[in-house]
Copies of this chain bind each other. A is one copy, B any other.
Amino acid sequence: MVKRGVGVWPLVSRETLGTFKIFSVRRESLLSPRTGRPHPFYVLECPDWVNVIPLTDRNEVVLVRQFRAGTRAVTLEIPGGGVEAHDGSALAAIRRELREETGHAARSWKRLGVVHPNPAFQTNRCTTYLARGCRPVGDLKPDAGEDLAVECVPLRSIPGLIRSREITHSLVIAAFHFLSLAR
């Protein structure tokens, strides 16, 4: 592969247009090296995200069935969320999310990979972990914007759930791809 000189565009100006709880919108002017002119972009600034494939010792995946406001539908996902300021690290954030969304804790943690959810217009990244030895340790702690239930499914049934569109979240599918590459 030869890199043919596509470079990073210098920032001309930047302005925050609005802040909406889980993201903010910026307008940026960037200078195109190709045209020599500034071009306007709208950028979504989000905190970093994190998710986890939680495995039990029976090789089941601890999934969350939940209502999602974006698609106004009920989805089947692995646990995940945003890294909050008080978390201090992606790993601390996902330990918290696993506990809050599923009532489970894990014996061991391993980082599987990092993606950019959408580098075209989102600034953030999402780190994926594998958690082994997951076991129930207490009740779920949903916040006022959540409505969820835990479902444990055998790991071998995940490809079928993706094919049948029971699992459709791109970041969940990318997580399982990292798992398949790690094996």
Could you list which residues of chain A lie within 8 angstroms of chain B, going by C-beta atoms?
1-9, 11, 17-18, 20-23, 25, 27-28, 30, 32-35, 37, 39-44, 65-75, 113-123, 125-126, 142, 144-145, 147-149, 151, 153, 159, 162-163, 165, 168-171, 173-174, 176-178, 180-181
Contact = CB atoms under 8 A, between A and B. Distances in A.
Given A2-B151, A122-B70, A173-B174, A145 B115 contact: no
B25 A121 contact: no
Oligomer: number of copies? 2
B1 A151 contact: yes
A147 to B, nearest CB: 5
9 contacts: A5-B149, A7-B147, A21-B40, A34-B142, A43-B70, A68-B120, A69-B121, A113-B163, A116-B169
A74 B7 contact: yes
A159 B180 CA distance: 10
B69 A149 contact: no
A119 B75 contact: yes
Contacts of A32: 144-145, 147
Contacts of A6: 65-67, 74, 147-149
B147 A9 contact: yes
A123 B72 CA distance: 8
Contact of A177 (B74, B75, B122, B176): B176
Contacts of A114: 165, 168
B71 A42 contact: no
A99 to B, nearest CB: 19
Contacts of A148: 6
Given A18-B25, A177-B180, A169 B44 contact: no
